[in-house]
Amino acid sequence: MAWNEPGGNKGGGDRDPWGNKNKNKNQGPPDLDAIFGKLGRRIMALLGGKKSPGGPGGSGTSFFHPKVLAAVVGVLVIIWAVSGFYTVKEEQRGVLLRFGAYQGEVLPGLHWKPTFIDKVIPVAVAKIRSLPASGFMLTEDENVVRVELDVQYRVSDPEKYLFSVTNADDSLRQATDSALRYVIGHTKMDEILTVGREKVRQETWKLIDKIIKPYNMGITVVDVNFLPARPPEQVKKAFDDAIAAQEDEQTYIRKAEAYQREVEPKARGRAQRLIQQAEAYKQQVVMKAEGEVSQFDQLLPEYRKAPEITRQRMYMETMEGIYAHTPKIFIDAKNNNSMLYLPIDKLLEQAKHKKSSSTLDNSDMSKSGGSATTSSSSSSNSQKDVRNAPLRSDDVRTDVRTDRYGRN
């Protein structure tokens, strides 16, 4: 039911929002002065004031009364003053604007600003922000590869970050995409997928800094992470085999280097040992030569005193050194052309064998004696054969055993 519909009120009268109680039904909208006067009387009643005499249409306390205006203004001032308090967080810095003009930077803490005059924009300067970039790009060798890059940065200058460019984050995104495409376009695909990833990361970082420097965006790039690149799915299997081959190559190289580190010290030690042995042999030969020279110097005066005796003694000493390492046989062929054969080496060997076998048991000694008898009989038979054989000058080997003084 509408508020001015007839019969809507219990008293039978129409309802009037202006509080006229159906008086003067044909009257138009009430006067605004009456409305403000009624509002003023209510405010005065709240403030402890007294109503002035007069009816509803009379001249009561007006809204524009000085006390009413002062109360309203006071309330508004209190609200305005309280609304000016604000807080800047620890990881933030505030950019203060007064009527839209930059005034300075606000440090963390509780502050106050005049509302509608100053404006503070908080900017997180300690927060590390991340900006991803990815896409299919063309390499230097005309291959297509999908690369992903993550740029980590922070705001170093809040004023430049807000006012140097329209949108610093979007400008950095465009600079990153441009730098990444440039570096990928000047790098071969094998390097991007295997050993050249660090090179791509460093060059992209340098190029991003170079691009954003003239714009003074108040941004500092902290790190650039080059995520693993991958070829298109159609050729992924072939490139996986290529990467596996590269890894095997590195494995074999490391094994070879380990073998080199193991063998090289041994070879150096062996070479050093041979050098030392050569030095020792050199010293030995030199000392021996010096000794022979000294011996000759001592022998020369004796030779000058008795040349023949000295010569004979030197000859005997030389022959003694020669025959000491050769087989020796004594032959006597002066009586009736019969030759006496005496193998001295065999006799010396038999004497040594008998001496070494003297500690054996009796059975071994008997066997040894039998073999000795057999050998002696064979030697006697050989002697008889030699005696009966005609003597020739080329078959006779004479070994003259002499002492140091030339005696037989």
- Taking only the tens place, the pLDDT of each residue in 13-42 is 555 555 555 545 555 566 666 776 676 677
Q: Considering the domain 129-231 in this protein, what is its CATH number?
A: 3.30.479.30
What's at 302, amino acid-wise? E
Residue 226 CA: distances (Å) to CA of 148, 177, 220, 386:
6, 13, 18, 102
| pLDDT (0 to 100) of residue 54 | 45
Ranges of CATH 3.30.479.30 domains, the chain: 129-231
- Taking only the tens place, the pLDDT of each residue in 162-171 is 999 999 999 9
**Does the pLDDT of residue 278 top 70, yes or no?**
yes
- Taking only the tens place, the pLDDT of each residue in 226-261 is 888 877 777 778 777 877 887 899 899 999 999 999
| pLDDT (0 to 100) of residue 284 | 93
269 sits in which H/E element: helix 236-305
Q: Are strands 129-138 and 118-124 parallel, antiparallel or unpaired?
A: unpaired
| pLDDT (0 to 100) of residue 182 | 94
Report whether 147 contacts 189 (CB < 8 A): no
The residues pairing with 144 across neighbouring beta strands, listed in sequence order, are: 138
48 SS3 class: coil
Report whether 227 contacts 149 (CB < 8 A): yes
Q: Choose among 157, 165, 202: nearest CA to 183.
A: 202
C-alpha dihedral over 318, 323, 325, 330, to 10 degrees?
-170
Within 8 A by CB and 6+ apart from 50, the residues are: 44
Q: In b/e form, how buried is each residue of 313-346, taking b as 16+ CB within 10 angstroms?
A: beebeeeeeeeeeeeeeebeeeeeeebebebeee
Within 8 A by CB and 6+ apart from 358, the residues are: 365
159 vs 218: CA distance, rounded Å: 7
Report whether 285 contacts 291 (CB < 8 A): no
**Does the pLDDT of residue 382 top 50, yes or no?**
no
221 sits in which H/E element: strand 219-230
Q: Choose among 239, 214, 217: nearest CA to 228.
A: 239
pLDDT classification of 325: cutoffs 50, 70, 90 = confident
**Does the pLDDT of residue 386 top 80, yes or no?**
no
Within 8 A by CB and 6+ apart from 306, the residues are: none
Burial class (CB in 10 A: 0-12, 13-18, 19+), 85: exposed
35 vs 26: CA distance, rounded Å: 19
Q: Are strands 340-343 and 329-332 parallel, antiparallel or unpaired?
A: antiparallel
- Sign for the CA dihedral angle at 316, 319, 325, 331 comes to negative
Within 8 A by CB and 6+ apart from 368, the residues are: 353, 354, 357, 360
Q: Find the mean pLDDT for residues 71-82.
A: 86
| pLDDT (0 to 100) of residue 223 | 93
- H helices within 333-406, ranges in order? 344-356, 362-388
**Does the pLDDT of residue 351 top 70, yes or no?**
yes
Pick the more confident residue, 125 or 8. Answer: 125
179 vs 226: CA distance, rounded Å: 13
**Does the pLDDT of residue 65 top 70, yes or no?**
no
184 vs 186: CA distance, rounded Å: 5
| pLDDT (0 to 100) of residue 62 | 52
Q: Find the mean pLDDT for residues 349-355.
A: 75
Pick the more confident residue, 114 or 389. Answer: 114
42 vs 58: CA distance, rounded Å: 15
| pLDDT (0 to 100) of residue 95 | 92
Q: Choose among 222, 228, 223: nearest CA to 197.
A: 228
**Does the pLDDT of residue 271 top 90, yes or no?**
yes
- Taking only the tens place, the pLDDT of each residue in 114-143 is 988 999 999 999 899 999 998 889 899 888
**Does the pLDDT of residue 51 top 90, yes or no?**
no
- Taking only the tens place, the pLDDT of each residue in 168-210 is 999 999 999 999 999 999 998 888 877 888 999 999 999 999 9
Cα three-residue angle 217-220-222, rounded to 5 degrees: 155
Pick the more confident residue, 195 or 80. Answer: 80
Burial class (CB in 10 A: 0-12, 13-18, 19+), 307: exposed
SS in 3 state form for 152-164? EEEECCHHHHHHC
